[in-house]
Structure formats: C-alpha cells, structure tokens
Amino acid sequence: MNNVKPRRLSPYWWPLNFIFFLILFPSHSFSLPPTERMSLQNGLRLIVSEAHSLPFVTFQLIIDGGSRFDPPNKEGLSYLTAKGLLHGTIKHTSKQMNELLDFMGANLHTDSSKDYITVGFKVLKRDLFQGFHLFMDAITLPVFPKDEFHSEIQRTLGIIKSVEEDPKELSEREFFKTLFAGTPYGHPVIGTEESILKLTRNDLAAFHSSYVRPNRAILVITGDISLNEIKMDLMSRLEAWPAGNVLPTSHKQPSAQNTKILTLERAISQANITLGNLAPQRNNPDFFPMIVTNYILGGGFSSRLLTEIRAKRGLAYSIRSTFHFKKRVGSFLVSLQTKNDSAQEAISIVLEEIKKLQKEPVTDIELEGARKYLTGSFPLQLDTQAKLAGFLAQVEFYGLGEDYAHNYVSCIMAVTKEDVQRVAKKYLNPYNYTLVIVGNLKEGRFRK
Amino acid sequence: MNKKKQSVFFSTVYWVFLVAALSSHPSVSFAEESSGNKTFEAILSNGLKVILLENHKAPVVTVQVWYRVGSRNETWGKTGLSHLLEHMMFRGSKRFSAEQFVRMIEENGGKSNAFTSHDYTAYFVNICAERVAIPLELEADRMQNATFDEKKFATEKKVVIEERRLRTENNPQAYLYEQMAATAYQVHPYHWPVIGWMEDLEGLTVSDALDYYHRYYVPANAFLIVVGDFSRQDLLPKIEKAFGCLPSTQAPQQVVSREPIQKGERRIVIKREGLVPALMIGYHVPNLQNADGYVLEVIEGILSSGKSSRFYDRLVREKQIALRAYADFSLTSFDPGLFFISAEVLVEKDLTTLEKAIDEEIIRLQTEPVAMEELNKVKNQLEAGFIYSQDSVFNQAMVLARNEIAATWRCIDDYIPAIHRVTPNDILRVARQYMIPENRTVGYFIPLPPQNIESNNSKNLIVEEEYTR
C-alpha cells in the first residue's frame, strides 16, 4: 500500500522528462568533482568523472538527433529510432538482450526529446565490460527487426491515447504545438497517429545512419571507473564507432504571434491551464536574469504565483512557471489546474502578476532569496551519478563552456533588480500569449 | 570476516564513549548500531528515536522526521485528516510564519517537502551538509508549536480538494486504484484513500486537526533520521539541543481492526470518460513480518522487473495485448497489504483477453517451478537495485525509514540474505497460498467515449485568435 501522497508538486515527484530545464548550479563552497574531457578521432566527445564509493558505473550518451530533425510527415521518427536501439542488434535478438541485461541487474533505456536522443545505462562494476559492449551494440549495431518495430508502433499509439486521457499532458502538448507551429519544435516527440503509421523500418535505419554518429554525440561516464580502465578496456570500441557525414542544418524560427486561446472540452472537474509565450534559446546572455526572474514569479515555494493562487486563495494545488530552453528556441509557460469555475480568476491573477513584475522592481528580500536559493542548492543537483552525468552532458550539448560551473555563482550574484524588470518586460508577454484550457468549458464559462 | 567484526567492535566502543561524553545531556538513554551497515540509533529521554547514517560521497544531508500516523489512524467520516494536517504543518508555528519557514530553507539552498501514506507522515529537508542545524531547528519547532488558523485551514482544505481533483478525480487509473482498495478492505482503514473522500474533506474542522496533532505529533510517536555528510559526534549534540527539550508524552496506541479473511472473489467495474481500458487485481498478502513477504518480493520481480520479466516479455512484447503491465507489492506496509497487478490494454484488444493472459502467468507460478537461471536473475536485479539506491542519501533514508515504520530499520540488514534464501518451492507455495481467486479483488476500467467530442479531439479543438495591442 505504498500510495504515498506527496504534498506539493516538485521535481522529485514529477520528473519533467520531456523538457530541458537546467537548474544545476554551484554554491560558494562547492565545486564540481574532477572531470576529464577529451575528443576522439571520430568526433565523440567523452567526459569522465570518477567516484568510487559505490560499485557501479553510469553512462549517459546524448545524440544531436532529437525530434526537431524529424522530416515532414515523419513525426515520431527520432523517438522510434531511439526505442528501436533496444529491439535487437547484429549480435543479439531483443529477447536475448533483455535477458543478458536483466541478469546483470543493469538498466539500459533510450528516449528522445525535442533536441536529442538519450541512451542511459547503469551497470555494476563486476559486469562493466560485458555491459558496455551491449550498450555499444545497441547504439551502433541495431537491426530494427520487423516484429519488434510493429509492436513498438502499437505501443506508441497506446501512449498517444494515454496522453489524450491525461488533461495536463494534453494541455501542454497543445500549447507547444501552437506556440511552435510550423517549426521543427512544434510536433510531439512521439509523433501523431497519422505520422507514425506511415513510418517504415527503412526510415529508422536511415535516421540511425545519419544521426546516431559519434560526431553528433557526447558520452559521459561517471562512477566506479578510472580513466586508465577506460583507455585500456573501452576506448578501442569507442574509437571504432564510425563517424557520419556532417549534415546541413537549417532552422526555421517560430514567428511572434498574437494571442491564441485554445479550448478543449473534457467532462472533468478541473480546468488544466497552460499559458505562455516564446522565449530565446538556452545559450543566450540573459539566461541568469531569466532564471532569477522565473524563481521569483513562479519557480520556488515562496514564489508570487504560489503565494497568490495557492497560499492566499486555495485555487490550485500545483502552480508553477518555467522557462523551457532548447538549442534553437525557448518558451515561457505557466501551468496550473483549478476547478472549472475558478479558471478565469486564476488566469487573470497570472496575467496581473506578470504585469506587476514588468511595472515594479522586485524587493531586496525577493532578489536575495532567489540568489541564495539558486546558488545554495547546487550540490543537491549533483549528488548522484545520474544527476552529475546529466549535468555534464547538457553543459557540453548546449555549449555553455568549461567554466560554466565555475562562473555560475558570480553570474547569479550579478543579477540586479533592474535586470529582473528588464527581462520580465522583454521575455514575458501578458498581452500576446498562447493559452490552452482543457476542462469543462461550460462550467468554466469559456463556452455557453 | 574477521576484519569486519573488528571494525564493528571499534565502532561500538566509540559509540559507548560518545554516550558517556554526553552524560551532561542525560536525555540520551540508549544507543546502539547495526552490524550489517553503519547505521546508528539513539533514543532521547523524551522518547524520540534518532537514526543516523553517515555517507560522505557528496556534501549534502537529508533530514527527515517521520510520524507514525497516516490514514490508517483515521476514523470513518474523518478521512484525509492526516494529509490535511501535513499541509497545515507548512502554514506556520508560534515561532516561524509560513513565509519565514520557506525562506529559511530556500535561502540556505534547501529543498523541503512532505508526504503522507496509509502508515506514516514524513517531512524532509535536503540541504548542504554545513546547514544541517537549520532543518533540525525548524522540525523540532513544528513538532510542538504548529498553529492552526481558521482562515488558513479553510484555504488549505481548498488546496487539498484541488489536489484530489488533480490526482484522483481526473485520473481514471488512480480512481480505479481507490475503488479497488475500498472493495478489498471492508473493515480495516486501508479501505479509504490517503487523500480522503471528497465528502469527508469538506467537513474536516480545525479542532479535528488540533486533536490529531496533539495525539500523534509527539516525540515518542516519531523518529528523526539523518543521512549524509556529517559526523555523529558533531551532530548528536545539535539534535539534542533542538529536540531534547520537547516534553515526553506517551505514544498513542496503534491498534486498528483487523481485516477479516476474504471469502470469495470480488469484482468491480468503473465506467467513466477515458480512452485506455485498464484492469487491476489485488490479492491480500503479508508484509515483512512474515517470511513469505520476501518470497512475494521475488515474485514481483519475476512478473515485472525489467524487459525480460514475464509480463513485459509475454504480455507487452510477445502477445502484444498490454500497453503496460506491472506487479506492485510493498514489503514495508504496517499492516498486511495487497499484491497488485495492473495493466492497460493495447489498442483494440480487450480486457477479458488481458485478464486471461495474466491468469495464465499466475497459474504458471503455481504449477511450474521457476528455473534457477530466472530466479538468480531476479535476485541479481534486486541486489543491484539495492546498491543503486544507495547513490542518493534521500533514498537511503527512505529505505531505512520505511523498514522502521513496518518493524525496525534493522530489517534492512536481512533484506538481501532473505531474498537469497527464496527457493523455487517457496514461490510455488506462496503463489498457491495467496494468489487464488477467493483472495482477490478484480477491477475493470471501461472508458466511455468523451461526451462532447465526436472522435478525434484535435479536430474538435476550438481556436480563437484575439488581437490585442
């Protein structure tokens, strides 16, 4: 009966698995564990951080081949290619792979997001060598067998249905579709019913051959392994992974939009609201003022939105704002759920709070609180092998620089009240926004 | 072996010395350590148990206070009180306002939250090791000084009602789960959901919460657990300083009515708007108080741990009738719980076929001895999972605390050995004893097509464009 009820929504309980939200920062008294970085001949970037307190090793591979590279009418291709890596290789069938991995107690999983494909792997030290080769087989030697492919298509159709059944996920899906319409960031990572039914095994093989290549990949290894062991035992296999051609990149930027309100009728007791606008990409000079601003508005448990909507009025259990930063685009959004007939009130409060942030400077206490939290909580973001590996991979992927962690504290501390007001005006838009409401529209007075 | 014994011996001597050194704080009445890991226990004179585990791999600590109270301690008509009280614990005390509390945690880079289950209510702060004194002070304070303002109580009740809508009312799977428990348990308080019935929540009052707080939030009914980068000799005086002055009160009684033995299968059907048909099966089973609990832990692994597990390999991959299929069992429930099987139907397949396929897997457990290779695989998985879980101080504390709630944290020492003792015969016997129709509840969720939507929602999406400024 482990039906635990967490009190508040927090990253502990609701992993934002489809969204990149970097909240990983150092404090004054903390520095990154020592890491080694190197580039192999085939273009693979390798980052290693040793930690020998527990007898296991974590691998995190990220590949520059997310759903933004799905060709038109082949939405879901990156996702199905990622899933297909586990469907069997030249050496093993899917069933054999599963047996071998489970026998070691190893975890191997693949996924795709808008920017990149991830392959995560965790294995006990005693099985490192055998496990590593299975991991590399999956990445480099997949065969995408017919039966497994068809069964994955059926599962993906099932997952699409599950999303439609979940009003919160549905609301966010429609939000991103609308905000990024006409760009490679618009469609859902898992594709649509129409698009995935048109995909073939050849599409997967071609996508794999173009994108799953060392010159597009970053591999982070953390845990009970030394650089010497990597050089002796793993390096030759990593080096044997053949590089691919450099692919031309073009990117269509989303265009600024007028206010769009989308409503979706569901016979449910809450309106699931997503409201927001376009924002810049991850690597932009205003990143630090933006995360400070977001923390004050709707990031922390002392945020303005949480105080106004939850603590004072009891309108919602979960209310938060976020910047979602991607490689080429970004977005700002507020997400909340409230009983249908409170929806209009909650939306007005959100818009008023954004306007207030643009009109008046934040208080000294708010600014200081945000700085202290964002710098002080850094060690908590790196306290497991997987969290550290994820951090190192993303710093590399988004090109944040080797000194990113080192400079972080000073960058946060340099943010001023004027900066907060400036970025609030520049990147939050309470006049032209995209708003999605999934709920009982009559009770919410969105429809007569 | 010899070496290990020796280090334990030295640790014990060290600990006794520490207690002697603390004799100026006479409230520490008892201290000892476990042989299998480096966990230490002390009990303050007011009855508060303190569990400490040093782990220096990262400069962080988790500080957690667990109260032995959850929805199993509630009464008919007052369901959801434990969880609502947990919310109120964040709304201020005589010493610190709600705003001050959050600020003290967040300005020190901490993350704080809480959770309530059938058996416990737990509060945690994860924070930089050097700031460990802050959560100690705050937790000790709210153990006795929480305030219950009428207006804040009314607001928090609304928040919980929204939480219930979010988690249960608008989530068919969660709704089915709730109905399953309410059917499987008729007498025992596992009958009602942790979050409470909507109808009961409306009627809860400040005085209900206050009575409950005074009865259950006492040192003798709680324990403090700290895991992370600290040294015991530095930390214990801090704990003593923060919690030692709390008055000693008797622990409340924990007896609740036992669930009578089920006589015959119970079946329920939920029909409501949705898209993916699902089913659940729940068997009454023992917890870790009974050696069969560990056999069930292994059965859970055989059925659904990893992609080579029987459910994934057969139902999801091979037969392609399930979108997902899981077994779920909690070894550490306070009273005997349910062994759950839950599955969602893959597009165009039906629930009866899925139930039949699951039944075949149960019959297989009862009739074919598990091959040693498969059994060893599951044991390896459980052992590896146990090692992986030690990477996070938060998880380490959770595992110790859940064992402490169910019996004692020392059970953790026996976890891996007990798993290794499980034989193919044990699995046959346990599957035959508990996993029988007479002992189960079966629930179906049959989705009704959305009423206001013809077929495909995206075709029904209403888009309005407004032109403003």
Any idea where the domains of chain B sit in the sequence? Answer: 2-243, 266-448
Share of chain A above pLDDT 70, in %: 93
Residue burial B50-66, b: 16+ Cβ < 10 Å; e: rest: bbbbbbebbbbbbbbbb
* Residue B220 Rama label (left phi>0; alpha psi -120 to 50; beta): alpha
* Distance between A350 CA and the closest CA of chain B, angstroms: 17
Which contiguous run of DSSP H or E holds residue B14? helix B2-21
CA of B440 vs chain A CAs: smallest distance (Å) = 15
| Residues of chain B contacting A383 with CB distance shorter than 8 Å | 57-58, 60, 392-393
Return the ∠ at Cα B372 (arms to B368 and B373), rounded to 5°: 115
Closest CA to A77 of A5, A173, A170, A184: A184
Assess contact for B309 and B301: CB atoms under 8 A.
yes
- pLDDT score recorded for residue B26: 34
Over chain A, what is the mean pLDDT?
A: 91
- Per residue in B42-69, pLDDT (tens digit) is 999 999 999 999 999 889 999 999 999 9
Each residue of B422-440: pLDDT tens digit? 999 999 999 999 999 999 9
**Distance from C-alpha of B240 to C-alpha of B45, rounded to nearest angstrom:** 10
Return residue ranges of chain A for CATH 3.30.830.10. 36-239, 260-439
Residue B35 predicted with pLDDT over 70: no
Q: Contact at 8 Å (CB) between B188 and B259?
A: yes
H helix or E strand, kind and range, residue B324: strand B322-328
A335-356 pLDDT per residue, tens: 999 999 999 999 999 999 999 9
Give pLDDT, residue A370.
Answer: 96
**Distances in whole angstroms, Cα of residue B445 to Cα of each of A165, A402, B176, B322, B342:** 13, 52, 7, 14, 11
* pLDDT of A315 over the 90 cut: yes
What confidence category does residue A378 fall into, taking pLDDT thresholds of 50, 70 and 90?
confident
Query: How far apart are alpha carbons B192 and B82 in whole angstroms?
Result: 12
Most B CBs within 10 Å, among A53, A102, A166, to test the B interface:
A102
| Cα B223 to Cα B132: distance, rounded to the nearest angstrom | 17
Contact residues, A window 189-248, toward B, CB-based 8 Å cutoff: none
| A51 at interface of B, judged by CB pairs closer than 8 A | yes
Class of domain A260-439: alpha beta
Of the residues B33, B41, B74, B86, only one is catalytic, namely B86
Q: Report CA dihedral (A187, A189, A194, A198) to the nearest 10 degrees.
A: 120
**Is the pLDDT at A16 greater than 50, yes or no?**
no
Nearest residue on chain B to A373, alpha-carbon basis: B109
On the question of pLDDT at B454 being above 50, the answer is: no
DSSP character for B258?
P
Test A383 with B58 for CB contact under 8 angstroms: yes
- The reply to whether A340 touches chain B by the CB within 8 Å rule is no
Name which of A35-39, B15-19, B166-170, B349-353 the model is least confident about: B15-19
Work out the average pLDDT over B381-401. 96
Nearest to A7 by CA among B121, B152, B61: B121
Q: Which residues of B fall within a CB distance of 8 Å from A268?
A: 165, 169-170, 273
Mark yes or no for CB contact A4/B117 under 8 Å. Answer: yes
Q: Give the residue from A39, A121, A14 showing the smallest Cα distance to A396.
A: A39
> How far lies B256's CA from each of A278, B115, B119, B193, B263, in Å?
55, 22, 12, 16, 21
Neighbours of B143 (CB within 10 A): 23
Closest A-chain CA to B336: A1
Q: Is A207 helix (H, G, I), strand (E, B) or coil?
A: helix
The predicted model gives B218-232 an average pLDDT of 97
**Which of B86, B177, B381 faces A105 most closely, judged by CB atoms?**
B381
CB spacing of A260 vs B171 below 8 angstroms: no
pLDDT at residue number B211: 97
Count chain A–chain B contacts defined by CB atoms under 8 A. 287
Examine the pLDDT at B32 and tell me if it is beyond 60: no
What would the two tokens of residue A276 be?
A: 């927001």
Which of the residue ranges A24-28, A42-46, A387-391, B69-73 would you say has the lowest mean pLDDT? A24-28
pLDDT for A7 beyond 90: no
Instruction: Please report the sign of the dihedral spanned by the C-alpha atoms of residue B339, residue B345, residue B350, residue B356.
Output: negative
- Contact across the interface for B171 and A166, Cβ inside 8 Å: yes
Average pLDDT over residues B292-317: 97
Beta-carbon separation of B190 and A102 below 8 A: no
Indicate if the alpha-carbon torsion angle A238, A244, A248, A251 is positive or negative: negative
| Residue A221 and residue A136 in contact, taking contact as beta carbons nearer than 8 Å | no
The region of weakest confidence among B104-108, B416-420, B461-465 is B461-465
> Does the structure show a pLDDT above 80 at B371?
yes
**Parallel, antiparallel, or unpaired: how do β-strands B111-116 and B278-284 relate?**
unpaired
- pLDDT value of residue B465: 43
What is the four-CA torsion angle of B295, B297, B299, B301, rounded to 10 degrees? -140
CA distance A4 to chain B (A): 5
DSSP state of A360: S
Q: Residue A29's pLDDT is what? A: 42
pLDDT of residue B443: 98
Residue B260 near residue B266 (C-beta atoms within 8 A):
no
Is B155 close to A382, i.e. CB distance below 8 A? no
Distance CA B469, CA B466 (A): 10
Torsion angles phi and psi, residue A381, rounded to 5 = -85, -5
SS3 label, residue B154? helix
Average pLDDT for chain B:
89
Note whether A168 contacts B: Cβ–Cβ < 8 A.
yes
Question: Residue B462: is its pLDDT beyond 90?
Answer: no
Partner-chain residue, chosen from A5, A10, A103, that has the shortest CB–CB distance to B195:
A5
Is the pLDDT confidence value at A314 over 90? yes
Number of H helices and number of E strands within chain A? Answer: 16, 12
User: Residue A20's pLDDT is what?
Assistant: 29
Q: What is the pLDDT of residue A177?
A: 95
Residue B167: both structure tokens together: 């988690």
Name residue B65's beta-bridge partners.
Answer: B123, B224
Set of chain A residues whose Cβ sits within 8 Å of the Cβ of B469: 431-432
Residues of A in contact with B420 (CB under 8 A): none
Three-state DSSP at B275 gives coil
The predicted pLDDT at position A247 comes to 87
Q: What is the pLDDT averaged over residues A117-138?
A: 98
B2-243 and B266-448 agree in CATH topology: yes
Q: Which CATH class is domain A36-239?
A: alpha beta
Rg (CA), chain B: 25
| Whether residue B14 has pLDDT greater than 80 | no
Distance (Å) from the alpha carbon of A218 to chain B's nearest alpha carbon: 23
CA distance B186 to A350: 44
Pick the CATH number of B2-243 from 3.40.50.150, 3.30.830.10, 3.30.70.3450, 2.40.420.20: 3.30.830.10
To the question of pTM greater than 0.80 for the whole model, the response is: yes
d(CA B30, nearest CA chain A) in Å:
30
Rounded mean pLDDT, A190-202? 97
**Contact (CB<8Å) B387/A124:** yes
Tell me whether residues B86 and A8 touch, CB distance under 8 A: no
Is the pLDDT score of B410 beyond 80?
Answer: yes
Q: The complex's ipTM?
A: 0.89
pLDDT for residue B451: 65
Give the full edge-to-edge strand order of the sheet including A5-6.
A5-6, B111-116, B121-128, B60-67, B222-228, B49-54, B40-44, B28-33
Which pLDDT belongs to residue B36? 47
Q: What is the pLDDT of residue B348?
A: 78
Residue B28 and residue A67: Cα distance in Å, rounded? Answer: 59
CATH number of B266-448: 3.30.830.10
Q: How many separate helices (H) and strands (E) can be counted in chain B?
A: 16, 13
In chain B, residues with a C-beta closer than 8 Å to the C-beta of A30 are 59, 128
If one compares B11 and A118, the residue with the highest pLDDT of the two is A118
Catalytic, B86? Answer: yes
